């Protein structure tokens, strides 16, 4: 399952976010999106978890959790619009 994570601290690294979600199961990838011009974090990203049950547990547990002085907003990512 692909998980959308918003309100991510601009200082956060992908490894930091992976640690948070790995408490709830296997994490196959983490991507924090960056601005093309400044290479600075855009404050959101995606976490991919192969097991849907673990992903749902992670979403429920991590949504609203404080991470690097910000409360994360976590939900299932919607497929991209064509």
pLDDT tens, residue order, the chain (82 aa): 999 999 999 999 999 999 999 999 999 999 999 999 999 999 999 999 999 999 999 999 999 999 999 999 999 998 877 6
Q: What pLDDT is attached to residue 64?
A: 96
Per the domain annotation, does 60 fall within a domain?
yes
Segment holding 23, helix H or strand E: none
Check which CATH number belongs to the domain holding 65 and give it.
3.30.70.330
- For the beta carbon of residue 52, count every other beta carbon within 10 angstroms: 11
- State which residues form the domain around 16: 2-74
Q: What pLDDT is attached to residue 82?
A: 67
CA distance 72 to 37: 25
Query: Which long-range contacts link 29-34 to residues 24+ away (Cβ below 8 Å)?
Result: 32/8
Tokens of 55: 């992903």
Per the domain annotation, does 25 fall within a domain?
yes
Mean pLDDT of the chain, nearest integer: 95
In 3D space, the residue among 38, 44, 39 whose CA is nearest the CA of residue 12 turns out to be 44
């Amino acid at each position: 399952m692909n998980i959308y994570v918003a309100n991510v601290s601009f200082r956060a690294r992908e490894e930091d976010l992976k640690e948070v979600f790995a408490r709830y199961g296997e994490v196959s990838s983490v991507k924090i999106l960056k601005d093309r011009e400044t290479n600075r974090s855009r404050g959101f990203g995606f976490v991919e978890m192969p097991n849907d049950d673990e992903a749902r547990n992670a979403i429920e547990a991590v949504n609203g959790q404080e991470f690097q002085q910000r409360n994360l907003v976590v939900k299932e990512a919607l497929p991209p619009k064509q």
